Chains A and B, each alone.
Chain A
Amino acid sequence: AQKVTQAQTEISVVEKEDVTLDCVYETRDTTYYLFWYKQPPSGELVFLIRRNSFDEQNEISGRYSWNFQKSTSSFNFTITASQVVDSAVYFCALRRPRQQGGSEKLVFGKGTKLTVNP
């Protein structure tokens, strides 16, 4: 079975602080896909990144960076110099590859609510 755990339910930081959101996953598949989505107060889920299990290279996009470590089954997300606009609920998700059968449903973690205070 697949499972995603986001142990941090809520995080509160002050603007300009760096913050890391943790994501730990469980799967028996050797190939899989990991995602991060952002859900601002408006409610719409916004795609941030997709990572294939065979690509462990870390990625940086502006103030966002992702650290993928297969050895610890973790896919953590860091926001550098946080801003008030980063306040949202962030979801980590896992998907099986198509070849493993079944649908391509996303299995989501419970989400981490990030509040960035001015």
Chain B
Amino acid sequence: GAGVSQSPSNKVTEKGKDVELRCDPISGHTALYWYRQSLGQGLEFLIYFQGNSAPDKSGLPSDRFSAERTGGSVSTLTIQRTQQEDSAVYLCASSLGAGRPDTQYFGPGTRLTVL
């Protein structure tokens, strides 16, 4: 079946601009995660959504970062007033969710470059 999809695959933006990154999880997966992969910091957790529960935002690095998940499916990660240190690959993952054996499956990522 279809895996996790993300768009765009690459995004180049200028410092100070806002960007939106999209994630489409595997059908039937109720849990969705965003991670960031950068050279200096490795793979870092950003935010987690599970069904209708309040998201775990504990990994968001600043209030410039936000995410939403509409209708329990597609998620959008928004970065406002981008900075050069935001340059990284943003990975989305999904899993079956609460109460079931859980493995996270990752999308191909969005490579963000802030000039």
Q: Which positions in A face B, CB cutoff 8 Å?
A: 33, 35, 37, 42-47, 50, 91, 93, 98, 102-111
What are some 25 contacts across the A-B interface (CB < 8 A)? A33-B102, A37-B106, A42-B108, A43-B89, A43-B108, A43-B109, A44-B106, A45-B91, A45-B106, A47-B103, A47-B106, A50-B101, A98-B98, A103-B48, A103-B50, A104-B48, A104-B102, A105-B45, A105-B48, A105-B59, A106-B43, A106-B45, A108-B42, A110-B42, A111-B42
Q: Are B56 and A105 in contact (CB under 8 A)?
A: yes
> Complex Cα distance A102/B45, Å?
12
B70-95 near A? 1/0 per residue, CB < 8 Å: 00000000000000000001010101
- The number of chain B residues with a CB under 8 A from chain A is 25
> Are the C-beta atoms of A103 and B56 separated by less than 8 Å?
yes
For residue B43, give the distance in angstroms from its CB to the closest CB of chain A.
Answer: 4
> Can you name the residue of chain B whose Cβ is closest to the Cβ of A49?
B103
A107 to B50, CA, bound (A): 18
Q: Which residues of B contact A (CB under 8 A)?
A: 31, 33, 35, 42-43, 45, 48, 50, 56, 58-59, 89, 91, 93, 95, 98, 101-109
- Closest-CB distance, A29 to chain B (whole angstroms): 15
Closest to B34 in A: A105
A-B complex: 5 closest residue pairs judged by Cβ atoms: A103-B56, A103-B48, A105-B45, A45-B106, A108-B43
B42/A47 in contact, CB under 8 A: no
Q: Which B-chain residue is minimally distant from A109 (CB atoms)?
A: B42
Residues of B within 8 A of A109 (CB): 42
Residues from chain B with Cβ under 8 Å of A91 in the complex: 43
Alpha-carbon distance between A46 and B100 when the two chains are bound, in angstroms = 20
A98 to B58, CA, bound (A): 16
